[in-house]
Amino acid sequence: MSEPGILSFDFRHVFPHKTWISNWSNDTQHPDGFQYKLMSARREPENVIAFLIVLQKRSDDKEVLHSSEIPSARFDRVAAIFLDGLAKEHGIDFEEQDFSACRDLITFDAAAFRFGWKSAEPDVG
């Protein structure tokens, strides 16, 4: 399910779900700055969510720190644990971008535009 943008959607069996993007921060390990992107894609009919945690550096280097598949009934609870932990550990906030209603590329493009993406491809590749 990978592509240059890390997640891909076929809008038949794999659909965008939710993304959370943190504000930029820095620390001793990343003095130039970093942000986290938590991304997900819903696989149907299995009702499973692919979940990724990506660390992006100011240099635009990206690293997938975590990848898992979570039953959709548990997804929001699991995502909240990661969001809360990262927020507390790094003193960052997250913006949620909900794409779960997008069932085709047209609605995904419109939602991505509303969230400020320059194209329908997530900026994580």
pLDDT at 5: 66
The answer to the question of residue 114 being in a domain is no
Q: Which residue has the tokens 């644990």?
A: 81
Predicted local confidence at residue 95, as pLDDT? 96
Residue 20 pLDDT exceeds 80: yes
Lowest-pLDDT choice from 11-15, 84-88, 97-101, 114-118:
114-118
Number of domains in the chain: 1
- Most confident listed range (28-32, 35-39, 109-113): 35-39
Q: Supply the range of the domain harboring residue 34.
A: 14-100
CB neighbour class for 27 (10 Å; exposed up to 12, middle 13-18, buried from 19): exposed
Q: Establish if 111 belongs to a structural domain.
A: no
pLDDT confidence of residue 60: 87
SS (H, E, C) 16-71: EEEEEEECCECCCCCCCCEEEEEEEEEECCCCEEEEEEEEEECCCCEEEEEEEEEE
DSSP 15: E
The more confident residue out of 125 and 16 is: 16
User: Do the domain assignments include residue 117?
Assistant: no
Contact 70, 81 (CB under 8 A): no
Identify whether 125 is part of a domain: no
Rounded to 5 degrees, φ, ψ at 50 are -80, 130
Q: Which of the four pLDDT bands, split at 50, 70 and 90, describes residue 125? A: very low
Round to whole Å and give the CA distance between 24 and 41.
24
pLDDT bucket at 7, cuts 50 / 70 / 90:
confident
Model pLDDT, residue 47: 95
